[in-house]
Amino acid sequence: MPHITVDYSPSLSEAFDRHGFALAFHPAAAELIGSAVQNCKTRFRPIDEAVIGGGGAGEAMVHLELAILPGRDADTKARLGELALARLCDHLKPATGLNVQVTVEVRDLASYHKRVLTS
């Protein structure tokens, strides 16, 4: 926790520094919500198929879904969303010929269970 899922258009594969984003976002998010950075987990998923707007070839997207444990107030969630949006944009290079829509959704986890297995 938090669980971060980032869906992105494959046309952004070269322009989107995914690893750099996660390394920059994890400590900032953990500090903001009072969690340990070790609890942050980010998954990146290229989108197999999407239609953006009118379906033109020059459209791309990045959508981040951030799921956190309940109990954070609306202001904290808003600041977390703004932080995520800023860090995403920091790690996206301009992609020639593409209009890129970058969006963030922050939500509470409905139910969450965790166990850490060590060797």
| Per-residue pLDDT tens over the stretch 86-119 | 999 999 999 889 999 999 999 998 887 888 888 8
> What type of residue sits at position 83?
L
Q: pLDDT tens digits, residue range 45-83?
A: 999 999 999 998 899 999 999 999 999 999 999 999 999
Instruction: Write down the domain spans for the chain.
Output: 3-108
Q: Which of 43, 25, 1 is nearest to 91 (CA)?
A: 25
Q: Using DSSP, state whether 88 is helix, strand or coil.
A: helix
Give 3-108's CATH code, choosing from 3.20.20.80, 3.30.429.10, 3.40.50.1110, 3.90.640.10.
3.30.429.10
Q: Which of 17, 10, 24 is nearest to 87 (CA)?
A: 24
> What type of residue sits at position 48?
D
Q: What pTM was computed for the model? A: 0.92
